[in-house]
Chains A and B, each alone.
Chain A
Amino acid sequence: MGLPLGRALLSYSSNKSGEMAKFTKQVSELHIRRDMTIEAAWQKSLEQFRELWPIHREEWTLLMSVGEVLGKTDKAGQSAFIQMMRDKFSVQEKKAEEERARKEKLYKSLGTLGGLALVLVLV
């Protein structure tokens, strides 16, 4: 028998630190102690953590859809779903990385220009 989600998430939160550990702890507690379904506990926790996480709407929608499917299918179904979500998050990660590089370049240019303007003003 595999580990049910509530206990799996609790176990993850006990062994890890950081934002994801706090999130999984909250989901497991809402599920185990307040008898909420995993889907409802996931959704409620995401809403609370949304303000703390700098995520886009698209990423938000993806995260919500994880809670809708977790635990609801057999092993093969769960594996396929998790693999699919990993692929989708990889695409998002790549997009975010590209955006970061683009913005980094922009801010670097802005910084150089700003420095130059400051030099011009002061000299």
Chain B
Amino acid sequence: MYLKSKVESRIENEIFPYLPGRIKNAAQKLDRQVINQLEEIRLRAGKPVMLVLCGYDVFLHENGRVLQQPSGALTTSAEELAEMVYKTCENSWYAFQEDINKGFITVRGGHRIGLVGTPVIENGRVINIKDISSLNVRIAREITGCGTAAVKHLVRGNRDIYNTLIISPPGVGKTTMLRDIVRIVSDGFPPVFDGLKVGAVDERGELAACYRGIPQNDLGLRTDVIHGIPKKEGMEMLLRGMSPNVIALDELGNPEDVSTVLQVMNGGVRLIATAHGYDAKQLKSRLGFLELFRANAFERFVVLSESEKHFYEIKIMDGDGNVLAVDAQSGRKPVDHNGFNDGGVHAFTKAYRKAGAYQGGSGIFTGTGE
């Protein structure tokens, strides 16, 4: 008898019940190490059931073993995919129509079930998706504490923060980092820093992972979340109604948002946002950032990166590009290396991930793929 980890319990209780019968039976026999490393379950009509473990694909056998090759793996039928979507929709397809049209359904726990098939278009808009051909179950993972070390470089006194941009390529964990920074800024860490009111605009639903309007992820006790709305409208609503000290945005970059972002900043409200990219220099030339950089809008950059050679790296820079701190095995000595390493981040290289796949290992910081 062993104690199940939180991740195992969540996956078993929040994901497995939605799976089609045969696949659920096989999944329930999976080794606990596999479950702990599970990031995605990919189901495609007529194709083998694929599991993504720490970034690497394996296939599911009916006895719960994972296979390196698709031969002998369980396959999914189109009927099973339809059954799973129907179950995910609580037997009420019509009630989840808007989510289906967007291509995903968020379930309890913040997990996301992506779906594709044949879209039905009316007046240029998707009004339904029929003949579902693929489902992708993306397991939501919060990494509480991953932003702890970074936050102290982002606060200004005990009641203010710097306008901050978190930059990384897709899948490296910027949304995970943003979520944890928001949580810490919102909760505060007295007596050093009082919590601030944060308004989060969760346009794509990945930051708070709202299920029936309730955030499934912990964004702190002073955070108000508005989800499923374009950033521009979301920011305006928050400014009008919630008087936030800080506004948090995931995936900044739409040129249409620029004027509102500047309006937010000019109004004395701070901003924490994420952006796809490799560094601040690269972003400067992009249309959605050009004006913001000209206005020196960002005072701090948190740059996340990962390479085969180096471990996962977090770099904090000020608005002028001066490096304030670096974590992980990058070779650069951080300003306050010891303190920074206490942030609770457990990050491993892709090579480590590959070697470590289904051999155990803990706390792998992979982000959720966003």
Binding site for B on A (CB under 8 A): 1-8, 31, 37-39, 70-78
Contact = CB atoms under 8 A, between A and B. Distances in A.
Contacts of B2: none
B163 to A, nearest CB: 34
A36 to B, nearest CB: 9
B97 A75 contact: yes
Interface in B35-60: none
A1 B93 contact: no
Contacts of A31: 91
Contact of B90 (A5, A70, A73, A75): A5
A77 B100 CA distance: 15
Given A3-B92, A4-B89, A4-B95, 7 more contacts: A1-B212, A4-B90, A5-B92, A7-B90, A71-B91, A72-B91, A76-B127
Contacts of A76: 127
Contact of B94 (A2, A6, A7): A2
Nearest to B90: A4
Given A2-B92, A5-B91, A74 B86 contact: no
Contacts of A78: 94
A71 B83 CA distance: 12
Contact of A1 (B86, B91, B99, B128): B99
A54 B89 CA distance: 34
A77 B370 CA distance: 34
B58 to A, nearest CB: 29
How many residues of B sit at the interface, in one of the four size bands?
10 to 19
Contact of B91 (A37, A74, A75): A37
A13 to B, nearest CB: 16
20 contacts: A1-B96, A2-B92, A2-B95, A2-B97, A3-B92, A5-B90, A5-B92, A31-B91, A71-B92, A71-B93, A71-B94, A71-B95, A72-B91, A72-B93, A73-B93, A74-B93, A74-B127, A74-B128, A75-B94, A78-B94
B98 interface: yes
A37 B88 CA distance: 12
Given A1-B99, A1-B212, A73 B94 contact: yes
Contacts of B91: 4-6, 31, 37-39, 70-72
Contacts of A2: 92, 94-95, 97
Interface in B99-139: 99, 127-128
Nearest to B128: A74
Contacts of B94: 2, 71, 73-75, 77-78
Contacts of A75: 94, 97
Contacts of B97: 2, 74-75
Interface centre among A8, A74, A75 (most CB of B within 10 A): A74
B186 to A, nearest CB: 26
A6 B90 contact: yes
Contacts of A1: 95-96, 98-99, 212
